[in-house]
């Protein structure tokens, strides 16, 4: 995990419980809150610059305005740690002016920006269309929700679909990474409903005949 916040910690627990070997990378791994979380969960929290080496896949779960810097730190001193790495981009490119909104969109996306910041990585957009509380085993009364994914590398997308499946998701492939232009606005519908209703237990499901 790149990121020690709500998403990083939730997905870390989910993948840990699913049997994966997980480490969380943060700027301040010795922060007391993280030390006690690590003791409680048994999941290591380590410096960002050490988290990618030896991993098979990396989750990017940072605040948008820190994402470029976090990627640079995670790429290591010579910038090569992310070469060929599956990077699961959970970020949403949010900013606040007069309202909370996407700061990238229509003919570009946060996912594509992440790929430009980490050009040798295999970026797959995923997990960005649901609140962190429902990222693990999204069983709702009407059935399981759908995880929308997008990425240029078919092999990387297969890895992410498998990992999402381990957490109880069925995935819908939105095509190449330009599909993030669709899934990031979808996240805004999720956020808009959360703000208006005060609830966070909703998720999207693609209904097919």
Binding stretches for ligand NAP (CB under 6 A): 3-8, 26-28, 48, 61-64, 66, 69-70, 90-92, 94, 128, 131-132
Residue 140 or residue 154: which is nearer to ligand NAP going by CB?
140
Residue 56 or residue 133: which is nearer to ligand NAP going by CB?
133
Smallest separation, CB 33 to ligand NAP (Å):
9
**What totals of helices (H) and strands (E) does the chain contain, helices first?**
6, 11
Residue 9 or residue 157: which is nearer to ligand NAP going by CB?
9
CA 173 vs CA 108, 157, 190: distances in Å: 18, 8, 19
Smallest separation, CB 26 to ligand NAP (Å):
5
Q: Can you tell me the distance from the alpha carbon of 160 to that of 57, in angstroms, rounded to the nearest whole number?
A: 9
13: which 2 tokens? 């627990």
**What are residue 155's DSSP bridge partners?**
none
How many residues in the chain?
209
Q: Can you tell me the distance from the alpha carbon of 14 to that of 126, in angstroms, rounded to the nearest whole number?
A: 15
Smallest separation, CB 209 to ligand NAP (Å):
29
The answer to whether 147 and 126 have CB atoms below 8 angstroms apart is: yes
Smallest separation, CB 165 to ligand NAP (Å):
19
Residue 34 or residue 158: which is nearer to ligand NAP going by CB?
34
Residue 7 or residue 156: which is nearer to ligand NAP going by CB?
7
Smallest separation, CB 139 to ligand NAP (Å):
18
The phi-psi region of residue 136 (left if phi > 0; otherwise alpha if psi is between -120 and 50; otherwise beta) is: beta
């Amino acid at each position: 995990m790149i990121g020690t916040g709500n998403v990083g910690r939730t997905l870390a627990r989910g993948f840990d419980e699913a049997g994966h070997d997980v480490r969380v990378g943060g700027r301040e791994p010795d922060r007391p809150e993280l030390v006690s979380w690590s003791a409680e969960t048994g999941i290591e929290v380590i410096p960002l610059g050490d988290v990618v080496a030896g991993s098979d896949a990396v989750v990017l779960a940072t605040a948008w305005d820190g994402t470029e810097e976090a990627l640079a730190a995670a790429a290591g001193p010579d910038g090569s740690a992310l070469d060929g790495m599956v990077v699961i981009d959970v970020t949403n490119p949010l900013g606040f002016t007069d309202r909370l909104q996407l700061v990238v969109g229509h003919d570009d996306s946060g996912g594509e920006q992440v790929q430009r910041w980490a050009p040798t990585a295999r970026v797959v957009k995923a997990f960005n269309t649901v609140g962190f509380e429902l990222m693990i085993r999204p069983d709702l009364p009407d059935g399981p929700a759908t995880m929308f994914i997008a990425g240029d590398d078919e092999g990387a997308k297969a890895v992410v679909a498998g990992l999402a499946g381990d957490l109880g998701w069925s995935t819908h492939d939105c095509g190449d990474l330009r599909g993030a232009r669709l899934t990031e606005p979808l996240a805004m519908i999720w956020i808009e409903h959360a703000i208006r209703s005060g609830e966070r237990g909703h998720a999207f499901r693609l209904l097919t005949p």
